[in-house]
Amino acid sequence: MHTLMSNQQYYEALASSNIVNKEGLNSVIKPTQYKPVPDEEPNATDVEETLEQIKSNDPDLEDVNLNNIR
């Protein structure tokens, strides 16, 4: 079932136990404005070099980050 209030209005109503949406059925519900999240920098891991270190069981290799490799 579609609700006539946003999630934010619903949770505010639960917290305050007051009627939050007093405008009625014709009220406009605006979306919550979120802060933009900046993109992560590309991962600087050299894949070929890291694979060679893994294959040779290099003791200096402690952690491999495979996220966001370009």
So what's the pLDDT on residue 25? 53
- Render pLDDT for 25-47 as a digit per residue (tens, 0 to 9): 555 667 778 899 998 888 788 88
Q: Which two tokens stand for residue 30?
A: 């605006």
Predicted local distance difference test score (pLDDT) of residue 36 = 92
> 10 Å Cβ neighbour count for 2?
3
Q: What is the mean pLDDT of the chain?
A: 76
